[in-house]
Amino acid sequence: MTKVTMTVNGKAVSGEVEGRTLLVSFLREGLGLTGTHVGCDTSQCGACVVHVNGQPAKSCTAFAADLDGASITTIEGMANADGSLGTIQQAFQDHHGLQCGFCTPGMVMSSAALLAENPKPTEMEVRHYLEGNICRCTGYHNIVKAVLAASGQDVSKIAAE
């Protein structure tokens, strides 16, 4: 067992992990942060995306022991300080950017990374950036719409397809 210390959603945490403990297992089982989902467990689907030192990464494909000292943000860290939904989360609700909701944590985390890098993306840029996130309900159109809305762009003219 190895001791790891991280900052998760702004709080210092530590725990004992096995070498093979994945970051997502440490978050879900070690810290009880079950908002991060395991979808495919093969790094294809993106449901497990969290931010590692500000950059999106698939937490099912990283070892907790390899991230000693890292700063992690999960979906639980995306709400406003008063507990209300953050801008991207609110846009997903407003634009029905989720159906079953399973992919949503990863979608929100990837979208947040995109908007940090590119505050006013085009529709194509959003679709391209989210290609590592799979929605099993195939609800992509409203997800893209929500991301564009969260960036402050007018989405009233984007027709449902």
Partner 1 sequence: MYAFDFERPKTIAEAVKALGREDAQALGGGQTLIPTLKQRLASPSVLVSLNGIKEMIGVRKEGDTLIIGGATPHAVVAKEAGAYPALAALAGAIGDPAVRNRGTIGGSVANDDPAADYPAAVLASGATVVTNARQIAADDFFQGLFTTALEAGEIITEIRFPIPGKANYQKFQQPASRFALTGVFVAKTAGGVRVAVTGASEDGVFRWTDAEQALSSNFAAGAIAGLKVSDDGMIGDLHGTPAYRAHLVKVLTGRAVSAA
Closer residue to partner 1 in complex, CB, 41/123: 41
Q: Total binding residues for partner 1 by CB under 8 A? A: 29
Least Å distance between CB 53 and partner 1?
A: 9
Rounded to an integer, what distance in angstroms lies between the CA atom of residue 147 and that of residue 105?
13
CB 77 within 8 A of CB 9: yes
Is residue 41 within the footprint of partner 1 (CB under 8 A)?
yes
* Beta-carbon contacts of residue 150 (< 8 Å; ≥ 6 apart): 87, 88, 90, 91, 92, 111, 115
138 belongs to the binding site for partner 1 (CB under 8 A): no
Piece of 44-52, 84-92, 94-102, 142-150 that binds partner 1 (CB under 8 A): 44-52
- 108-137 residues near partner 1, rule: CB under 8 A: 110, 113-114, 129, 131-133
Neighbours of 18 (CB within 10 A): 13
- HSE at residue 108, side-chain half, CA atoms within 13 A, is 27
Q: Work out the angle at residue 67's Cα, subtended by the Cα atoms of residues 65 and 73, and round it to the nearest 5 degrees.
A: 130
Is residue 46 involved in binding partner 1 (CB under 8 A)?
Answer: yes
Q: Which residues of this chain interact with partner 1, rule CB under 8 A?
A: 2, 18-20, 22, 41-44, 46, 49, 52, 55-58, 61-63, 65-66, 68, 110, 113-114, 129, 131-133
